[in-house]
Structure 1
């Protein structure tokens, strides 16, 4: 008999039952995840002196997530990021999608995977802490074709939290699953992340128009404020007078990790806080990494410990396929056929250095 994960009530959802909070713990990390949106609610990681502290923006109950909205820590689907005009065409048929961001779709529509209670398949503490969640999205959900069965598996081993995302469909469709954790390795209580050092294993990024829809270009990072091939402080680049930084009020762009050949698990990014020494390394087989510097956090609400989340309070690093890929044949395809299984891996490793 396996030992179940520690769990506790996380609040009541109108018309959707109760939410539960699960705790996964190793000798290094303590991670809390709720079945509401499959969200990472908190991550506690040690600094260079071995003191654990919060490194994730989040809230203390489901009511706060309902009130403040946003994508704090959540799973994203059916389609992470944006689809222009909230419309796609498959096999000669046009599908109108949920337009929840002006005329466009963002993160799966008005009721994306971030706004549903996922079913729990496994919640075990041994031999390694594991939480397996599933959600069935019916045919036509938010306008997408096909009934999609999605699965998210969180596993914690020592200093690494692994997330495996899987899906199957009954009809040809498009899918792009991801997660949206906001990190602050210094602790959200100390301010912003502009002193963090970031490196990204990407030679190119996706420019956008003023509505933050990709133009279709895959532009080299060389000679731009988007060149993080070597570690650089976020604050050293974010104020540059680059038109792309104006569009998103800072960084809110997808970096191209791998657009050729087979998907392989590899280093996507490294984030370091020089004050605490905490380091986050992200490995993934996704082709893109959306980097968002919390530009629209206004200070209108507070999270864990009563900390007010202002602009750049956290850095979202979202490993995913390319946004708006259905409209750009030169982007890696996000189509999924009924006989295929979608599977992506994201690993978050916390060390010091």
Structure 2
């Protein structure tokens, strides 16, 4: 283990992040060092920031791509593990194209846009085709690789912002984006996005953290238990673009309406599993309202007892089970990022919505405000 890149802390956690968290005084929490995240990218300062819920959760964030670098939570025996994948220093994030989106914000458009193109009011806009013929997660220079402004930071909250100019990665409109990460005493991690534009455009933001509730590098996620509040998915073709249909999950490997082990059906004979090389699909969330934050997903790991609930105001969630991880990337604790040892759960609108008029709209016009709220709530049982 590269211990020189980590700060091993127990009681001294208070001095490092300025908190009064008595529940973690003696926990073996290893915060990444400021010096390993201090640099300049495109003449903008990059750093790392620690947040504390005040009741047992510690998180570190870098403003390069708004990335969640570490997230420490206790198990049922109050043993702490870092449950998100990440790297030891900023250089590894910058150079590692294999896991470009690790822990980052996705934008301007999370997920895929077919042929990297769409039309607004008869005008065609061409985007980078950075995933086959598709535009993926905003293009070649998306929100994940830019340096966000740190507008303010406190013990439990950080405010970030970014200005995306007209024509950025082919998208129209000058876009002003704000993003707030908050840890609450109820051990919630809240994300709030807002955005405005001066020209009609499409916006679909999300976070691409990879979770393993056993801890980073501690084995498969196929034994995690998953519940999804969704009766259907948007099926995809061989290029991972939605066909435009809605496919009922009943009697398919995609039925997680009641809790089921992730690995139970992931290797079954199924066209959709083949197209995604496993789970890499958008679930259509059951919604009671259009804008309220509602429960969407529960992820549970029985050995540790860690549980994560996801609440959101979004209409979909893309779930990806690390089907293409090869174990060549080494994480924060000198352990490889292996095949199906992490899961991403990305709350958002649907993929390719700009080209699918019957999907929930991602269009943002001048005078409107894009708003998204997602909550990750942590507990044990």
**Which TM-score bucket, shorter chain as reference?**
over 0.9
Q: 1:23-54, CA deviations, whole angstroms, 9 ceiling, x for partnerless residues? A: 00122100001000001111000000011111
CA contact (8 A) 1:5 1:124 kept: no
Residue 352 of structure 1 aligns with which residue?
380
Deviation of 1:17 after TM superposition, in Å, equals: 3.9
Aligned twin of 1:22? 49
Report the counterpart of residue 93 of structure 1 in structure 2. Answer: 123
CA distance in 2, matches of 1:152, 1:338: 19
Q: Which runs of 5+ in 1 are unaligned?
A: none
What is the TM-score of this pair, normalised by structure 1?
0.95
- Cα distance in 2 for partners of 1:90, 1:293 equals 33
1:224-265 residue CA offsets vs partner (Å, 9 max, x unmatched)? 000000000011011111111111111000000147852221
Instruction: Look up the match of 1:241.
Output: 269
Alignment of 1:121-140 (within 5 A): 121-125=151-155, 129-140=156-167
Query: Is 1:225 equivalent to 2:237 in the alignment?
Result: no
Maintained 8 Å contact 1:16/1:117: no
The alpha carbon displacement at 1:321 in A equals: 0.5
SS at 1:101's partner residue? coil
Question: Residue 102 of structure 2: SS of its match in structure 1?
Answer: coil
CA distance in 1, matches of 2:299, 2:137: 24
**What is the rounded CA distance, in whole Å, between the counterparts of 1:13 and 1:109 in structure 2?**
22
Equivalent runs, 1:38-53 vs 2, <5 Å: 38-53=66-81
| Conserved 8 A contact 1:57-1:181 | yes
Q: Distance in 1 between matches of 2:103 and 2:296?
A: 19
Question: What is the 5 A alignment of 1:1-353?
Answer: 8-9=34-35, 10-26=37-53, 27-69=55-97, 70-125=100-155, 129-158=156-185, 159-258=187-286, 261-353=289-381
Distance 2:190 2:308 in 1: 13
CA RMSD of aligned residues (A): 1.6
Q: Matched residue of 2:46: which SS?
A: strand
CA distance in 2, matches of 1:263, 1:14: 37
Cα offset, 1:186, TM superposition = 0.8
Structure 2 Cα separation of the partners of residues 43 and 21 of structure 1: 13
In 2, Cα distance between equivalents of 1:261 and 1:165: 19
Q: State the Cα distance separating 1:99 from its structure 2 match.
A: 1.2
TM-score normalised over the length of structure 2: 0.89
Using the alignment, how far apart are the partners of 1:283 and 1:230 within structure 2? Answer: 17
State the Cα distance separating 1:103 from its structure 2 match.
1.2
In the alignment, is the contact (CA less than 8 A) between 1:259 and 1:287 conserved in 2? yes
* Contact 2:233/2:281, CA 8 A, preserved across alignment: yes
Give the count of matched residue pairs: 348
Residues of 1 paired with 2:312 and 2:220: CA distance?
26
Instruction: Give the secondary structure class of the aligned counterpart of 1:326.
Output: helix
How far did residue 15 of structure 1 move?
Answer: 3.3
| Separation in 2, partners of 1:196, 1:16 | 42
Residue 334 of structure 1: how far off its partner (Å): 0.4
Q: Where does structure 2 lack aligned partners over 5 or more consecutive residues?
A: 1-15, 19-32
3-state DSSP of counterpart to 2:162: strand
